């Protein structure tokens, strides 16, 4: 089973890049499912029905998110749909709208997709992602699952590293999101879990993690509030990973980073 996962998609330029590149990547890699992190889909914060439909039309099958998923009012509706394709982190308080994991059909099989969020250096006060992971596995232990995929949305490299090793042999893949900078530590962990600390983003390359740097600069020079602005056009860096998994063992056999630049 082959999974193509796309890092945080940042606003309009990110959506344009996905629309331009994903059809070719689907042909080149022939993934069984395409997953993307969409917490930054609508102008860098949140997701709307229109922006979600744009990337679905481009070929995205399922979506994870993070702390910015609540930034647009429409997210409540998207998260509450019984057969919706957008997850929010599972370790948010359970009274929140939406779900943090899903069993998703892929051909004649199904995979478990889990969305978690780290706590180190994050302002939210969330439940423990390690214990949340354990509880989810208990809930689905009698299900026939071909692969277990985890998007760990977090700031701290150390927290992601430790979670990857904690989940090694129990998850098929653990991929990090949130920092928007692709790391070069893609690997298969000792017990068979594919891992990368951060997949990166799909966003403006010469920017502050996808946001126009001119609006961010004064906050460093003068300690004044930053301006959250994203240009509609420019050079976009597209970051993703392709992971191969043996569905009989749930173990990963390979993980490959994808880096492409495109003018949009």
Q: How many CB atoms lie within 10 A of CB 156?
A: 17
The answer to whether residues 255 and 196 touch, using CB atoms and an 8 Å cutoff, is: yes
What DSSP line would sit under 57-94, residue for residue?
HHT--EEE--GGGGSSTTHHHHHH-TT-SB---TTS-T
CA angle 57, 59, 65 (to 5 degrees): 95
Q: Please pick, among 43, 68, 178, 239, the residue that the annotation labels catalytic.
A: 68
End-to-end CA gap in the chain: 32
Residue 178 falls in the annotated catalytic set: no
Instruction: Tokens for 166, please give them.
Output: 């904690």
Q: What residues are labeled active site?
A: 68
């Amino acid at each position: 089973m082959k999974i193509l996962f796309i890092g945080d998609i940042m606003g309009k330029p990110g959506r344009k890049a996905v629309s331009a590149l994903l059809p070719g990547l689907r042909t080149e890699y022939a993934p069984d499912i395409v997953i993307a992190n969409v917490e930054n889909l609508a102008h860098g914060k949140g997701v709307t029905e229109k922006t979600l439909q744009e990337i679905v039309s481009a070929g995205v099958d399922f979506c994870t998110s993070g702390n910015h998923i609540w930034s647009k009012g429409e997210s409540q509706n998207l998260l509450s749909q019984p057969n919706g394709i957008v997850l929010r982190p599972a370790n948010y308080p359970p009274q929140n709208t939406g779900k943090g994991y899903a069993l998703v059909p892929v051909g004649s099989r199904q995979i478990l997709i889990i969305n978690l969020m780290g706590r180190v250096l994050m302002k939210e006060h969330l439940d423990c992602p390690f214990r949340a992971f354990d509880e989810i596995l208990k809930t689905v232990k009698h299900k026939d699952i071909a692969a277990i995929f985890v998007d760990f949305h977090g700031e701290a490299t150390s927290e992601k590293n430790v979670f990857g090793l904690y989940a090694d042999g129990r998850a098929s893949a653990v991929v990090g999101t949130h920092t928007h900078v692709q790391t070069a530590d893609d690997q298969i962990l000792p017990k068979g879990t594919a891992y990368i600390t951060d997949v990166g983003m799909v966003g403006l390359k010469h920017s502050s993690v996808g946001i126009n740097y001119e609006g961010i600069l004064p906050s460093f020079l003068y300690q004044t509030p930053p301006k959250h602005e994203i240009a509609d056009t420019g050079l976009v860096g597209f970051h993703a990973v392709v992971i191969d998994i043996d569905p009989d063992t749930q173990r990963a056999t390979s993980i490959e980073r994808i880096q492409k630049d495109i003018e949009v």
